[in-house]
Chains A and B, each alone.
Chain A
Amino acid sequence: MGQIHMRLLLLFLFLSASVPAVALQQPDLPTLQRAFSQGKYPQALQVGRLLLQKSPNDTQVLLLTGATCIELARLLTDDVARLEAHKEALGYFKRYEILKPDHGDTRVHQSLARCYLVTKTKTEAMRHARTAVQLDPNSAMAQRLLGEAYAMMGNPDKALSALKKAQRLDPGNAEYIEAVQIQLHAMRRFGETLVFIEEHRSKILPDNQNQYLLHWVLHVTHLALNNIEESHKAILKAREKNPGRSLLLSPLADSHYRIGDHEGAEKWADAALAHPRTTPIAKAAASRTKGQIRMHQGNYEEAKRLLESAIVVLNDDGPTTLALIATYRRLGEKELAKSLADKYRESLKEKP
């Protein structure tokens, strides 16, 4: 129930972002352009919507409002709100295509590809990503979208190739390194990820705001390789580079737990649970960590409460499930344990 409230709240904020009254009374294209370029996306979105009510076929406004939706989506932490933002953007870009079928603008195809990727419309995503690359083969973003489209189509080798090309085209951007890492991760080629990062990390300047991302990627990769000490060092470094990043709190808790520092784990889990921008998934992960600690402490009732709250969100998560089964067993609740084990056994069949 609490989760639904949170989503509705986010949607409400997204849809009704506050905008100065003057801008709403006299909406015009320069106001929209100014708000967009200043990163005031909620304001830009409101202005764009009003302009399109008056002139639904204004192609410039369509483009800018669509782009505003995508930028705004990047800032959202809620999956539902993000999906809605992309769906809205998709509407604007599709209308633009109808009005200007021969536009030949790679950015429009990139935007459409992105929207279709988010809405999981595979063939359309692939079609627009390919067109975007044909129009501008040297666009790193176009290559990246093509890579993501290949990944969605189940062609990991081609995906990797396109993502590596994107990274070569924009070597100083940590996001492209991360994209390659995600693909290698999906292909379970963890060792190769480390080599890749080592080869390319020097290209990310020390003062680059995405430096933390590199360490995050290292953390994830070392974790995949079960190098717990290295993964722990990496996430501490990521935290050092970007102390305000709430996304790191829950993984910090998990990392401390894995190295056996239950006190540290508890501290970071509490921080994650208290932070207003922690996502429901991250909160559940933090609850899991606390639940695992309680289980080891022999406080099975409290462990049960925490782990049961975690598993609502982390449905098929192995560590949560195993900890909860172990807790049920130790509480003598064998039927609950059995039912959970049976359910998890089914989900395991699908896991690599």
Chain B
Amino acid sequence: MRSHLLLFLLVGVFGCTGNPPALPPQAAKGSTDPEKHAFPFVLEENAIPFTHDSGARGKRYIGEAVGSGGALVDVDGDGILDLYLVQGAPDADEPDGKQPKSNILFRGTKTGFVPFAESYASGDTNDGMGCAAGDFDGDGDWDLYITNDGPDRLLINDGRGNFTDETEARGIDQTRFGSAVSTVDIDLDGDLDIFLGHYLEFSKDNFKPCMRDDLEVYCAPKVYPGVPCALLINDGSGNFTDVSEEAGLNSLPSKALGTLTTDIDQDGDTDIYVANDGEANFLLLNLFKETGKVRFSEEALLSGCALGEGAKKEAGMGVDAVDLDRDGDEEILVTNFEAQTNSCYRNDGDGLFLETSFFNGMGSPSLPWVGFGIRNMDVNLDTIPDIFVTNGHVIDNIGEVSSGKILFAQPDQIYIGSAEGFEVSNPHEDAPLKVGRAAISGDIDNDGDLDLIVTCWQDSPRILRSTAAGSAPVIGIELVGDGITSTTNAIGARLKVKSGGQEWTREHRVQSSYLSSHDPRQLFALPKGETSAEVTIQWPDGSQETKTLDAGSYHLWEMGKGITTKTAFMPAKP
């Protein structure tokens, strides 16, 4: 009887899905052999004068556990990435709640990040979560949208990094618990719309203490009801209207922590993938192209990307997309809780996915950890995508709860792609562990490789500065749309790069990972010995341009005008 019951449990809960991708990385289990790969990163601790404050003051409100993110973007137009870091805040009536720390904008300089004191953006003291950079008013510079556990903010840039809070003036009234935010042109009218992930419905009034044995812990998201995501449509001049109801979002309570823009069905309009915490994920197919209306159809379950390995609802946190098997469409990657694999939904085309994390080596090594930020990047410039994941538990006293068996601060992981699959290791295993949250990528020293900013809960962010530059030929591309049939940020453009008999496909987006907005420039490593690549851009309106680009530079590619500026990479540091 008992064994029979167990069999029933097993049958009901477990199973398997997926096959190895047809091309690398495939069919190998992950390993953690630290000798196998040298990681081209230098870890810089305390290089950014910022300490995250979750707002935790002893009550263990759920929202305190999951912040905060930031953005890497050149806001002052000097050619060097600046950094915007989002700060949490305590509730106003908590001890020292009246002295919240503010979000900070750091100016990128050749010697590091320096607080940009004059900017309004340095003064926002809301309880912050995520951030998206985008040219919302179409004037060619980068504005900022910040999600809060409370009213969101829209900061408009004057082009020199000075921001004005124009939230209300531009019709934004979003007071729910915001998490991830993605910029996207949903209605194909050439301006940036905003898709907002909302986490759950929490306030001090519905706070419930949660216990594990005799210890109070942060509650699981199941304790609180979900709330719908939101869609804000831009009128072309940077004023927004909330169309969540018409879009069909209000009937879909979510617990969103990660959002991703991606044209899943490749029909020319951008769809949205939402990673939900403890609930099935959403695949919101955009019906604009078919119907001319702003309307989503939620089809994740039907498409095979709603649930994790073994058909389980998982704790979706970060999300990213990359064409791992080089078949021209992107796999979706989602970070999850411990004892859940980080999901790898293989894209089989036609909007069909299979979860394959156990087959490609991503699964097993992710099981002990709680994954947050996830970012695909070619860290060793070998032309094969790698994946960086930053981990950190959500229960601050998990060590005590688990008698020391589970860590609160956890190691970061790099999944190095190869023809055999992924090899996994901690890129800085001698460094103290931190509680990782966002992983924001960008070429902060303009040397032609991707560096990372990793935000850490109640701690200072880390810089993982890549030293890979110079080890392989690389091309850099910055896309600028015409603002008429494509947003100026060219969100949704598709890049095809051919070199040395190989081909890579990538969809252009700026936000992914966890609460993160990345460097909008694209980098492609080429096979060793190659000096150029044939690059085709398919702009959001379907038009295509093809150019041959030389390695060693960033190319500013303006829609309809071609390459208008070419800037050589800075020399790699020895």
Contacts and interface: CB of A to CB of B under 8 A. Distances in A.
Interface of A: 73-74, 77, 79, 82, 175, 178-179, 182, 185, 190-191, 195, 213, 216, 220, 223-229, 247, 250-251, 254, 257-260, 279, 281-282, 284-285, 288, 292, 296, 314, 316-323, 325-326, 329-330, 334, 337-338, 341, 344-345, 348, 351-352
Given A195-B405, A325-B304, A348 B313 contact: yes
Q: Choose among A77, A175, A226, A334 the residue with the greatest number of B CB atoms under 10 Å from its CB.
A: A226
B1 interface: yes
A292 B10 contact: no
A191 B17 CA distance: 24
Interface of B: 1-20, 27, 222, 280, 301-304, 307, 309-313, 339-341, 350, 352, 354, 358-359, 363-364, 367, 402-403, 405-406
A317 B312 CA distance: 10
A323 B367 CA distance: 23
B10 A260 contact: no
B341 A226 contact: yes
B222 A352 contact: yes
A10 to B, nearest CB: 14
Given A82-B1, A326-B304, A352-B222, A223 B11 contact: no
- The 9 lowest CB-CB distance pairs between A and B, nearest first, are A319-B15, A318-B311, A258-B16, A341-B301, A341-B302, A296-B19, A285-B11, A319-B311, A225-B339
B13 A338 contact: no
A338 B20 CA distance: 26
B359 A220 contact: no
A254 B16 contact: yes
B16 A220 contact: no
23 contacts: A74-B1, A182-B6, A220-B6, A220-B10, A225-B367, A226-B309, A227-B367, A228-B358, A247-B3, A257-B16, A258-B15, A279-B4, A317-B12, A317-B311, A318-B13, A322-B15, A323-B15, A326-B352, A334-B302, A337-B302, A338-B302, A352-B222, A352-B313
Contacts of B2: 175, 178-179, 182
Contacts of B17: 292, 319, 322-323, 326
Contacts of B3: 178, 213, 216, 247
A247 B4 contact: yes
Given A226-B309, A254-B10, A314-B11, A325 B4 contact: no
B361 to A, nearest CB: 11
A178 to B, nearest CB: 6
B302 A329 contact: yes
B339 A190 contact: yes
A345 B15 CA distance: 18
A212 to B, nearest CB: 10
B413 to A, nearest CB: 16
Nearest to B278: A352
Contact of B311 (A247, A322, A334, A337): A322
B14 A254 contact: yes
B15 A317 contact: yes
A79 B5 CA distance: 10
Contact of A285 (B5, B7, B280, B339): B7
Given A178-B3, A292-B15, A317-B15, 13 more contacts: A175-B2, A227-B364, A227-B367, A258-B15, A259-B358, A288-B15, A292-B17, A296-B18, A318-B307, A321-B311, A329-B352, A345-B301, A348-B280
Nearest to B366: A226
A200 B227 CA distance: 45
Contacts of A314: 11-12
A351 B6 contact: no
A191 B312 contact: no
A240 B309 CA distance: 28
A260 B302 contact: no
Contacts of A319: 14-17, 310-311
B17 to A, nearest CB: 6
A284 B11 contact: yes
A318 B306 CA distance: 11
Nearest to B402: A191
Q: Which of A195, A285, A320, A326 has the most CB of B within 10 A?
A: A326
A279 B10 contact: no
Nearest to B2: A178
Contact of B4 (A77, A229, A260): A77
B301 A344 contact: yes
A220 B27 contact: no
Contacts of A247: 3-4, 7
Contacts of B340: 226
Given A191-B402, A247-B4, A329-B302, A318 B310 contact: yes
B302 A282 contact: no
Given A227-B367, A344-B301, A216 B6 contact: yes
A177 to B, nearest CB: 11
A292 to B, nearest CB: 7
A83 B383 CA distance: 62
Nearest to B27: A260
Nearest to B6: A220
Contacts of B20: 260
Contacts of B222: 352
A312 to B, nearest CB: 13
B4 A226 contact: no
Contacts of A216: 3, 6
Contact of A282 (B7, B303, B307, B364): B7
Given A220-B9, A247-B4, A226 B367 contact: yes
A288 B403 CA distance: 39
Contacts of A288: 11, 15
A228 B3 CA distance: 20
Given A288-B15, A319-B14, A260 B367 contact: no
Nearest to A189: B212
Given A228-B364, A348-B280, A317 B302 contact: no
A224 B311 contact: no
Contacts of A352: 222, 313
A341 B354 CA distance: 15
B307 to A, nearest CB: 7
A351 B308 CA distance: 14
Residue of A179, A319, A321 with most chain B CB atoms under a 10 A cut-off: A319
Contacts of A345: 280, 301
A216 B6 CA distance: 9
A274 B312 CA distance: 30
A352 B341 CA distance: 17
B219 to A, nearest CB: 14
A65 to B, nearest CB: 20
Q: Identify the interface centre among A191, A314, A320, A338: most chain B CB within 10 Å of its CB.
A: A191
A56 B551 CA distance: 96
Nearest to B351: A329
A251 to B, nearest CB: 6
A325 B16 contact: no
Contact of A250 (B7, B16, B352, B363): B7
Contacts of B309: 226
Contact of A325 (B8, B12, B302, B312): B302
Contacts of B13: 224, 318
Nearest to B340: A226
A125 to B, nearest CB: 15
B15 A223 contact: no
B284 to A, nearest CB: 15
